[in-house]
C-alpha cells in the first residue's frame, strides 16, 4: 500500500472583509474540485484553510470602524466560514491565525530559524507617522509605484503590476492613517537574506531539482507562475524584513523586541501548518506525515500543493519555500497552481469600491442555485489569463449548457426509466456494437477528465464532463429506445 499523501492548502483569506466571486473562481473552487477528485480516488488528503487574522489590513479596517482588531476578525471569520460551508467547499479544517496553537507554532518556527542564523538584524530608516506616533508598514503607506506609475501602490506590493516593493521605493508616499507625508525614523528588524538562496531556488524552479535530487516536475507548473518567479530571480532577490512595528500579530519571541510582531507573510503560511496540527490533534493523526520528509528514508511522501491567486505567487514560490527549506525536514511545494483574476462586467473586482458579487449575499438571495454558480465559475475559471463574469453570460451558460445539454440528458433518461421500467434501472441486455461504442466513448472521456484535473485544467475537465451528456443525448436520438 502506498504511503503517498496530499496536503492541499487554499490561500488564507484576510478576515477584514467578505469573500467575492473572484476569490472563489481564483482559489477555492479549483482547490475544492481537485480535493474531491483525490477523495474519489481514495487518496490520503488533508485540505486546509482558515482566516488570516493579522497584518496591517486588519488593523486599518478596525481603525476605520472604531472597533478592535479582534472584533473585525471575529466578524469576518464567521461570515466567511459559513459562506464556504454553504457553498459546499469542504475543508478538513477552517482554522484561525489568532488561535493559541498558531501563535505558538509561528513563534517556535521563527525562533528555530533565528537560532540557526537564518536571519540578519538591521537598523534602517522607515517611514513614521508623527501624528499617530506609528511606523508605517505595508498597507499603512501608499504612493506611486516606481515601475508602472500606479498612484495607489502599497508599501509591500503594487497590485497593478505585481511588483514587490518596500515603502522606500514609493514615490510621493503618504500615510493611510492620517493622509500626511511621513518622516523617516530609525528602527531595528530581522530580515530574511533572500539573496543567499537564489542558486537553489533557480534550480528548483527551472529543473525541479535541489543538489541534483528531483523534487517535482517543472513542466507541470503553469507558465505564468514560473515566469513571475524567474523574473524576480533574474532581477536579484533582496533581504526582506520578517518583523514589523505593530501591536497586532504574533509577538517576536526575542528579548528587546517589544512592540514588534512577525511579518504577516511569515506568519500566514505557517498557518497552514498550525491548522494541520489542530486537525491532526482532533482526528488522531500525525501532522508531521503531511508536512515533513520521512525521517527513515529521507524521501518526501507528501505532495504539498498551494492553491492561490497570482498576487500571492512570490510568497508561495520564493519566501515560504525558503522558510521551509531552511527550517529543515519540511517538504517543498510540489505545485503552486496560481490562477489569474476574475473581472466583473468589464471592470476589476474591487472591495474598496464595493464592485463585487459577495458570496454570502448570493447564497442568501439564491440558496437553491449553488451548483449553477459553481458550474459557471468553473466554466470561466481564470486559469491562464484574466476572465470575465457577466450576468448575461451566467444566464446563457445555464440555459444553453446546463439545462439544454446536461439537464436534457438527465430528464430524458429519468422520463424513459419511469415510463417503461417503473423508475427502476433495468438489467442490461445484450449489447449492440453501438452500445459498446458509446460505453467506450464514456470511458475515454472519463480518463480525459481525470488527466485534466491532475493537470489543474478544470475548465477543460468541465467541458469533457459535458461531453458525456452530449454523447448520451446523441445515443438516445440515434437509438430511439421509445420505439423498441
- 3-state helix/strand/coil string of the chain: CCCCEEEEEECCCECCCCCEHHHHHHHHHHHHHHHHHHHHCCCEEEEEEEEECCCHHHHHHHHHHCCCHHHHHHHHHHHHHHHHHHCCCCCCEEEECCCHHHHHHHHHHHHHHHHCCCCEEEEEEEEEECCCCEECCHHHEEEECCCCCCCCEECCECCCCCCECCHHHCEEEEECCCCCCCEEEEEEEEEECHHHHHHHHHHHHHHCEECCEECCCHHHCCHHHHHHHHHHHHHCCCCEECEEECCCCCECCCCCCCCEEECHHHHHHHHHHHHHHHHHHHHCCCHHHHCECCCCCCCCCEEEEEECEHHHHHHHHHHHHHHHHHHCCECCEEECCCECCEEECCEECECCCCECCEHHHHHHHCCCCHHHHHHHHHHCCCCCCCEEECHHHHHHHHHHHHHHHHHHHHHHHHHHHHHHHCCCCCCCCCCCHHHHHHHHHHHHHHHHHHHHHHCCCHHHHHHHHHHHHHHHHHHHHHHCHHHC
Q: Tens of pLDDT along 275-327? A: 999 999 999 999 999 999 998 888 899 999 999 999 999 999 999 999 999 99
State the CB neighbour count (10 A cutoff) for residue 170: 21
Q: How far apart (Å, rounded) are the C-alpha atoms in residues 230 and 321?
A: 14
CB atoms within 10 A of CB 377: 24
Q: pLDDT for 162-193, tens place per residue?
A: 777 889 999 999 998 899 999 999 999 999 99
Quick check: 165 and 156 in contact, CB under 8 A? Answer: yes
d(CA 237, CA 102): 29
Q: How confident is the model at residue 2 (pLDDT cuts 50, 70, 90)?
A: low
The grid coordinates listed for 196 are 543567499
Assigned C-alpha cell, 471: 454523447
- Taking CA atoms, 361 is separated from 18, 211, 341, in Å, by 10, 50, 21
Read off the pLDDT of residues 226-246 as tens digits, 9 standing for 90 and up.
Answer: 999 999 999 999 999 999 998
Q: Give the C-alpha separation, 166 to 157, whole Å.
A: 7
- Residue % of the chain over a pLDDT of 70: 100
Predicted structure pTM score: 0.93
Whether residue 65 has pLDDT greater than 80: yes
101 has pLDDT over 60: yes
Q: How far is CA 429 from each of CA 184, 421, 424, rounded to the nearest angstrom?
A: 83, 14, 15
pLDDT at residue 269, as a whole number: 97
Average pLDDT, integer, range 129-142: 88
The yes-or-no verdict on residue 195 having pLDDT over 50 is yes
Summarised one tens digit per residue, pLDDT across range 422-461 is 999 989 889 999 999 999 999 999 999 999 999 999 999 9
pLDDT above 90: residue 217? yes
Whether 1 shows a pLDDT value over 50: the answer reads: no
Q: Higher-confidence residue: 159 or 339?
A: 339
pLDDT of 93 strictly over 90 = yes
pLDDT score recorded for residue 42: 97
Model confidence band, residue 216 (pLDDT cutoffs 50, 70, 90): very high
Amino acid at each position: 500500500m502506498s504511503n503517498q499523501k496530499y496536503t492541499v492548502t487554499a490561500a488564507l483569506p484576510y478576515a477584514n472583509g467578505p469573500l467575492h466571486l473572484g476569490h472563489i473562481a481564483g482559489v477555492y473552487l479549483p482547490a475544492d474540485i481537485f480535493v474531491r477528485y483525490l477523495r474519489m480516488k481514495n487518496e490520503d488528503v488533508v485540505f486546509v484553510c482558515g482566516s488570516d487574522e493579522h497584518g496591517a489590513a486588519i488593523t486599518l479596517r478596525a481603525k476605520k470602524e472604531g472597533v478592535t482588531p479582534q472584533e473585525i476578525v471575529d466578524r469576518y471569520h464567521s461570515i466567511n466560514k459559513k459562506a464556504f460551508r454553504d457553498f459546499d467547499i469542504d475543508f478538513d479544517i477552517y482554522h484561525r491565525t489568532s488561535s493559541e496553537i498558531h501563535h505558538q507554532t509561528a513563534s517556535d518556527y521563527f525562533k528555530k530559524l533565528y537560532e540557526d542564523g537564518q536571519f540578519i538584524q538591521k537598523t534602517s530608516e522607515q517611514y513614521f507617522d508623527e501624528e499617530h506616533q506609528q511606523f508605517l508598514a505595508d498597507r499603512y503607506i501608499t504612493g506611486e509605484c516606481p515601475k508602472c506609475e500606479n498612484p495607489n501602490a502599497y508599501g509591500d506590493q503594487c497590485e497593478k503590476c505585481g511588483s514587490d516593493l518596500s515603502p522606500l521605493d514609493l514615490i510621493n508616499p503618504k500615510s493611510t492613517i492620517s493622509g500626511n507625508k511621513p518622516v523617516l525614523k530609525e528602527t531595528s528588524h530581522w530580515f530574511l537574506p533572500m539573496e543567499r538562496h537564489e542558486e537553489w531556488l533557480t534550480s528548483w524552479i527551472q529543473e525541479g531539482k535541489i543538489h541534483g535530487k528531483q523534487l517535482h516536475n517543472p513542466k507541470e507548473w503553469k507558465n505564468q507562475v514560473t515566469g513571475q518567479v524567474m523574473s524576480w530571480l533574474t532581477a536579484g532577490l533582496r533581504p526582506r524584513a520578517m518583523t514589523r512595528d505593530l501591536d497586532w500579530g504574533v509577538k517576536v519571541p526575542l528579548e528587546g523586541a517589544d512592540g514588534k510582531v512577525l511579518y504577516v507573510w511569515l506568519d500566514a503560511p505557517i498557518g497552514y501548518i498550525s491548522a494541520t496540527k489542530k486537525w491532526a490533534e482532533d482526528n488522531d493523526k500525525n501532522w508531521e506525515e503531511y508536512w515533513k520528509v520521512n525521517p527513515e528514508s529521507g524521501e518526501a511522501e507528501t505532495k504539498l500543493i498551494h492553491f492561490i491567486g497570482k498576487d500571492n505567487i512570490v510568497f508561495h514560490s520564493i519566501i515560504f519555500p525558503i522558510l521551509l527549506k531552511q527550517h529543515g525536514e519540511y517538504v517543498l511545494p510540489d505545485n503552486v497552481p496560481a490562477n489569474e483574476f476574475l473581472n466583473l462586467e468589464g471592470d476589476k473586482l474591487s472591495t474598496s469600491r464595493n464592485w463585487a458579487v459577495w458570496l454570502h449575499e448570493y447564497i442568501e438571495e439564491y440558496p437553491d442555485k449553488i451548483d449553477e454558480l459553481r458550474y459557471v465559475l468553473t466554466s470561466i475559471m481564470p486559469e491562464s489569463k484574466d476572465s470575465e463574469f457577466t450576468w448575461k453570460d451566467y444566464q446563457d451558460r445555464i440555459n444553453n449548457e446546463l439545462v439544454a445539454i446536461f439537464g436534457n440528458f438527465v430528464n430524458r433518461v429519468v422520463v424513459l426509466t419511469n415510463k417503461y421500467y417503473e423508475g427502476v434501472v433495468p438489467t442490461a441486455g445484450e449489447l449492440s456494437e453501438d452500445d459498446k461504442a458509446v460505453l467506450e466513448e464514456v470511458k475515454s472521456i472519463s480518463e480525459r477528465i481525470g488527466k485534466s484535473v491532475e493537470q489543474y485544467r478544470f475548465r477543460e475537465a468541465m467541458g469533457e464532463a459535458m461531453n458525456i451528456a452530449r454523447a448520451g443525448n446523441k445515443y438516445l436520438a440515434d437509438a430511439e429506445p421509445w420505439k423498441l
